Chain A
């Protein structure tokens, strides 16, 4: 079955037994991403409420975050969004090797992000700043909330990066096995969409935590 004949065919389920609907698959993915945005939306709402309530404490607490590592991670994630897009472009041009290469680079970037995050968290934890720690509980409520949200939001985002790595590794496997081809690359596109979302959420997290000093 040719990809082109399927796109634009409203009623493609009438075609044979093999059910394949690339437009539908993408629609499903967008809907799923929508739920992800709302999931994080709940957290951004929480952040907004407390930032309004404790803006001075938030500013003081944010000064303790390492803007350097944050910036580096922003650059890494933005570039990885580019490489995953290039990987899709490569398979559309039938360049399997380049596609594999670009996807691998994306995975490497993702891992670099996580390693940076690890060092950043560890530095904070070594300074005694983590949820329910004595050091943190001795501080004003606004700072407890700031670091609470910092760990929860970057942690949940980190979890999404980790899931993204797993998804991208699967895509790599499919690429190598020729399951993703010039005619059939919706899977890769959907994985790319997911990765862009992970990137997008970070673009909001970064200024809200690191740049409010």
Chain B
């Protein structure tokens, strides 16, 4: 840890405990939003690495047709676990719980979140959920093999540990709800004087919109999962068609949450992009209000499109075209964002540092992911591509190329603020390049395979897919190399990196006004907001201050 070295008058949050304990307990029982954010960072990164390793194993299995390293049943559990871990343990909590916790209060000029103890509770609820996932692997019956979507009737009939694994998802959802409640209340109650809603940084806007989705959508998956558990335990026939239940109803309830969950994943990422682009283009954001409102629009419309996952389920034609139409409408606010970002860069004085490069990779990958989403959103093409690698490629471009990339961007953008150290920029840039190459090799090939008819979740494949499968697997190695290079650089820099000043990038939002790492309660005096969030004319004053 980078503590104790930086010579600033005030103690930073590493050096000062929020409670009566010192050492490890001062972290485990802390109510400080920054420390909780960091605990999330370490825990979530751990699960991300686990998810990556499972992903690499799956790719390795697919290197050759037939059995390569694992048998078919193990492969079923691998893709289920990869999904469950990446979705519920990494990408949903990733940006809000880590960077939202750390930077949302700072960016609105608050000393902490509205409910600091509840915040710590959400962390532990998350940990309990994560532990349950792992316990479920080792109990008799074996790890869950239903796919992360837990579709009925198989999830009721499978003899694997479905109940415990989905109970974990239920508990993780609870953690997500508590975080959402906390953030909404924080934004409403703890903004600094003169920090009106339209002076809030866009990351705050995005996290705020996300928090609403967390609250509105998560209870629905909670009850759905609970019903599946009850059905498995007591034999109540709610979804099981043998007892009169309707499996399609399960799919509806599942996607009523799980589609908005996609926006829980991507919205905070879009918020981070809206932070990084003005900072490195030295230009105020183009269309501030449009971006802020498009976050809310995505949150709202995103709630009404869930059944586009079910075009082939046999629901009515009317429902299908209505959901198809609504799906196209989501592309509008997303497009508003992308065009505003590009317009922000126009005639800006661009400084292509590592976080900015990650954002460039994001815009490229996310655009491909978004446009292929339209292909899947139209009925005719979806019937052809449903449940193929095309879908897998699409959501990896959106989720990993979108949110995952921005997770790394945020890490590189705020790393100097969080730890007071800078990483080695050249190494970091090489990692971006490797990531970009590996990513496209790994997933673009899947678009082609999916178009040719390769179904998802299959253990084996026909000989004509062999070349593309090999390219894809090699891509996974390059991608893994990029991630480990990046992680190694960051971990090494925690101790050995050169010291970073309070404002290494020349950002103007509130976090760049305070020392790196921030002091215990962020601000000696709560600032009064006089500028627009991305008004770079204040940079001069800021330099005079320090």
Chain A residues in contact with chain B, CB under 8 A? Answer: 10-14, 19, 21, 23-25, 27-28, 31-32, 34-36, 38-43, 45-46, 49-50, 53-54, 131-132, 137, 140-142, 144-145, 148-149, 151-152, 156
Whether A43 lies near B223 (C-beta < 8 A) is yes
What chain B residues lie within 8 Å of A38 (beta carbons)?
216, 219-220
Q: 0/1 per residue, B185-198, Cβ < 8 Å to A?
A: 10011111100000
Q: What are the nearest 8 A-B pairs in CB distance?
A: A141-B244, A132-B235, A42-B223, A38-B219, A148-B236, A39-B219, A24-B189, A131-B236
CB of B253 within 8 A of CB of A45, answer yes
**Cα of A156 to Cα of B230 in the assembled complex, Å:** 11
- B contact residues, total (Cβ < 8 Å): 43
Q: Are B526 and A34 in contact (CB under 8 A)?
A: no
The smallest beta-carbon distance between A148 and chain B, in angstroms, is 4
A interface SS class: helix
Q: Is the CB of B114 within 8 A of A28?
A: yes
Chain B's nearest CB lies how many Å from the CB of A124? 14
Are A151 and B236 CB-contacts (below 8 A) given A11-B192, A21-B114, A32-B181?
Answer: yes
Inter-chain contacts of B223 with A (CB < 8 A): 39-40, 42-43
Contact status B215-A132, CB under 8 Å? no
Contacts of B226 in A (CB 8 A): 156
Give the chain B neighbours of A42 by CB distance below 8 A.
219-220, 222-224, 253, 256
Query: Quick check: B243 and A145 within 8 Å, CB to CB?
Result: yes
Q: When each residue 236-258 of chain B gets 1 if its CB lies under 8 Å from chain A and 0 otherwise, what string results?
A: 11100001111001000100100
The one of B230, B238, B244, B526 that contacts A142, using a Cβ cutoff of 8 Å = B244
Residue B184 CB within 8 A of the other chain: yes
In the complex, the answer to whether A14 meets B185 with C-beta atoms within 8 Å is no
A36 and B219 in contact, given A49-B249, A144-B243, A145-B243 (Cβ under 8 angstroms): yes
**Once the chains bind, are A41 and B220 in contact (CB under 8 Å)?**
yes
A152-B526 in contact (CB<8A): no
User: A149 with B238: in contact, given A14-B526, A28-B114 (CB under 8 Å)?
Assistant: yes
Question: Across the interface, do B238 and A27 meet the contact criterion of CB distance under 8 Å?
Answer: no
Whole-angstrom distance between the Cβ of A30 and the nearest chain B Cβ: 9
Give the docked Cα–Cα distance between A168 and B491 (Å). Answer: 48
Instruction: Answer yes or no: B177 CB below 8 A from chain A CBs.
Output: yes
Whether the Cβ atoms of A152 and B188 lie closer than 8 Å is no
A39–B222 CB distance below 8 A? yes
* 19 A–B pairs (Cβ distance < 8 Å), ordered by A: A19-B116, A23-B189, A28-B118, A28-B181, A31-B180, A34-B215, A39-B220, A39-B222, A41-B219, A41-B220, A42-B219, A42-B222, A46-B253, A53-B246, A131-B236, A132-B236, A140-B244, A152-B227, A152-B238
Partner of A24, one of B185, B238, B244: B185
The interface residues of chain A lying within 8 Å CB-to-CB of B219 are 35-36, 38-39, 41-42
